[in-house]
């Protein structure tokens, strides 16, 4: 059984992001309160829109932050995230393979793998940004790599933001 090991800096980052998200929600609430119950002003409306967009970006980042447990014997992955605090188990037999990709951060590039389900859609992402033992988790997943697929710029953006795209394989 392999458990994900978070990089040490990301625990403090995660706590900071949670507190920042709570602060954003309070600010959005205050801005909306002033819009609805006080005289109309453009500044609170613009700030509410900006803060709401910032909150959306934070939610996109949170979707990749998971605690992962890979059971090689049972061929399952169990993960816990802010969206699934009680965890969810997925069986590797429900996937046809995985694709590897590279994502670019401000200071580094990092590898990711996306599991591809039987409908040829990416369904689960493990990001090398968060884990010290990414290579160990990568080697524990006993699926075949899908190497030949079409992958344009907009699909890459959708993959980074939503982690859900349809994989169209190239004809040999």
Provide mean pLDDT across the span 47-68.
Answer: 79
User: What pLDDT does 170 receive?
Assistant: 63
Q: Are 35 and 43 in contact (CB under 8 A)?
A: no
What band does 69 get if pLDDT is binned at 50, 70 and 90? very high
Give the tens place of pLDDT for each residue, 119-150. 989 999 998 888 899 999 999 998 998 887 77
In terms of residues, how long is the chain? 172
Sorted by where each begins, the domain ranges of the chain are 2-62
Lowest mean pLDDT among 19-33, 86-100, 121-135: 19-33
pTM listed for this prediction = 0.75
Check whether 87 has a pLDDT greater than 70.
yes
- Please tell me the distance from the alpha carbon of residue 138 to that of residue 135, in angstroms, as a whole number: 5
What band does 40 get if pLDDT is binned at 50, 70 and 90? low
- Please tell me the distance from the alpha carbon of residue 77 to that of residue 92, in angstroms, as a whole number: 7
Partners of residue 124 on adjacent β-strands: 115
Q: What is the layout of strands, in order, in the sheet containing 88-91?
A: 2-3, 66-71, 76-81, 88-91
- Please tell me the distance from the alpha carbon of residue 148 to that of residue 129, in angstroms, as a whole number: 24
Provide mean pLDDT across the span 140-169.
Answer: 82
Alpha-carbon distances of 61 from 57, 73, 104, rounded to whole Å: 6, 31, 13
Tokens for 151, please give them: 């992958």
Average pLDDT of the chain to the nearest whole number: 83
């Amino acid at each position: 059984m392999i458990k994900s090991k978070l990089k040490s800096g990301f625990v403090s980052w995660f706590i900071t992001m949670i507190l920042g998200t709570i602060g954003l929600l309070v600010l959005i609430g205050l801005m909306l309160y002033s819009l609805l119950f006080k005289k109309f002003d453009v500044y609170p409306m613009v700030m509410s829109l900006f803060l709401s967009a910032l909150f959306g970006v934070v939610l996109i980042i949170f979707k990749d932050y998971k605690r992962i447990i890979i059971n090689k014997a049972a061929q399952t992955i169990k993960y816990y995230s802010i969206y699934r605090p009680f965890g969810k188990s997925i069986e590797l037999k429900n996937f046809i393979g995985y694709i590897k990709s590279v994502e670019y951060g401000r200071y580094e590039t990092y590898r990711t793998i996306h599991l591809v389900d039987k409908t040829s859609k990416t369904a689960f992402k493990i990001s090398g940004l968060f884990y010290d033992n990414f290579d160990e988790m990568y080697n524990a997943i006993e699926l075949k790599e899908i190497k030949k697929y079409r992958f344009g710029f907009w699909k890459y953006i959708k993959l980074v933001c939503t982690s859900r795209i349809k994989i169209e394989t190239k004809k040999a």
